[in-house]
Amino acid sequence: MTKNKVIVVGAGMVGAAMAIKLAQQGKAVRIIEKKLINPQQVLSSDQVDIRVSAINRFSEKLLDELGAMPLLKQSRLAPYQQLEAFERGGDNLLFDCADINTTHLGHLIENNLIQASLWQQFEQYNIEVIEQAAPITSIEQTSDAITLVYGEQTYTADLVIAADGGQSQLRAKANIGITGWQYQQHCMGVLIKLDAPQQVKTWQQFTPTGPLAFLPMQAPYANLIWYDDANTLQSFKGLNPLQLKTHIVKKFPELAGDFTVLKHAVFPLARQHANKYSQGRLVLVGDAAHTINPLAGQGVNLGFQDVVALAQVLLSADDIGCPLKLNEYEKSRRKANLLMMSMMDACYFGFSNQIAPLKWARSQFLKIANNTGPVKNWVLKYAISGELN
């Protein structure tokens, strides 16, 4: 008998996408989520989310296949056509969609809109969502089933997918270890209202105290990202909008127009990678498997690549919880995830210092990379497609 009962724990962007992708294959999918949302309410709200993701072309294609992209196109989203990296007073590296004959490199979209557009598809695929705020008590596995225990409540399936984030309870209960570290710096996101036309270029400036970034959302909104010493950013938490704007004006390159600070948030940075992606009939996806420096907004894109890879492995499986099948998924994703994590760390550590030889080397790198068309275009295609070839 075909075993196709799935429980997805966590219905953020990656978990919700995973649930729909498997439901499209005809699998019986249930979701366990801490807190339910009203997707129609989120999509119709004029409240702008400070959390934004840079969705690449690979992720766009997936969201379109899952039915979410048409909804997002009716809401707030901003295509970007250029991506620039530079040092103050130094060389720059500019990626342009025209270089690879495409209309845009990706979209900047609020996280809650992506999540809501996916949740809107659940009813169509008969995906049951169970609200369960209690912590998981235990995970019980046999050779042919897996059961999650939440106090007196139990849920049994053929496969459990942990999409419950970087602090995954399921990963911890399954005794899957992680390797990684906390970065010394913290990161502050600042939602602004910008008095300027729609911007189509996202940029990152590297400074000795950490990167600064501009993410153009749908006009008039934009998001500023400020990496710095943890104590420095923590001292900004209690500032009012006008006080914070003063610091931004001093620190950031000149923006396209005047702006108003709407809200801001500070959070720590961590890199971590699960020592393995599965344990018996439990498998990890997204941040539960890997968290990455958010320098280029690649975290959710890696998670969506996990979704596609796992769905492909399970497509023709008679027993979707078979450990051998889950190992196939890990083999297909671990190398690519490690590569992106290492690339982000190389940029982060390589540019956030003033060591003279390294400063010279990175200046030469930016200069050469910007003038080496085939190499630059390969990097660009990899960044927007997630594919190495």
Return averaged pLDDT per consecutive 10 residues of the chain, 389 residues in all. Answer: 87 98 98 97 96 93 97 94 82 83 92 98 98 96 97 97 97 96 87 97 88 94 94 94 98 97 93 96 97 77 96 95 96 90 66 51 52 55 56
CATH number 3.30.110.70 is the correct assignment for the domain at 5-77+108-180+271-349: no
Position 352 scores a pLDDT of 56
The pair of structure tokens assigned to 323 is 């450990």
The ranges assigned to domains in the chain are 5-77+108-180+271-349
Nearest to 266 by CA among 231, 296, 298, 299: 231
3 DSSP assignment = B
Position 88 scores a pLDDT of 73
What number of other Cβ atoms are within 10 A of residue 262's Cβ? 13
d(CA 154, CA 217) in angstroms, rounded, equals: 42
Position 269 scores a pLDDT of 86
Global pTM value: 0.91
Q: Tokens 């695929």 label which residue? A: 125
Answer yes or no: are the C-beta atoms of 389 and 381 closer than 8 Å. no
- Give yes or no for a cis peptide into 220 (omega within 30° of 0): yes
d(CA 69, CA 77) in angstroms, rounded, equals: 10
- What's the maximum distance between 2 C-alpha atoms anywhere in the chain? 66
Answer yes or no: are the C-beta atoms of 382 and 388 closer than 8 Å. yes
Position 131 scores a pLDDT of 97
Nearest to 271 by CA among 362, 337, 204, 227: 337
Look at strands 282-284 and 278-279 and give their pairing: antiparallel
d(CA 17, CA 303) in angstroms, rounded, equals: 9
CB burial string 122-157: b at 16+ within 10 A, e below: beebebebeebeeebeebeeeeeebbbebeeeebeb
CB burial string 272-286: b at 16+ within 10 A, e below: bbbebbbbbbbbbbb
Q: Which helix (H) or strand (E) holds 201?
A: strand 201-206
What's the half-sphere exposure (Cβ side, CA atoms, 13 Å) at 231? 0
Distances (CA, A) of 243 to 31, 97, 158, 363: 43, 37, 54, 34
Position 26 scores a pLDDT of 96
Please spell the DSSP secondary structure of 72-123, one letter per residue: HHTSSEEEE-EEEEEETTS-EEEEEGGGGT-S-SEEEEEHHHHHHHHHTTTG
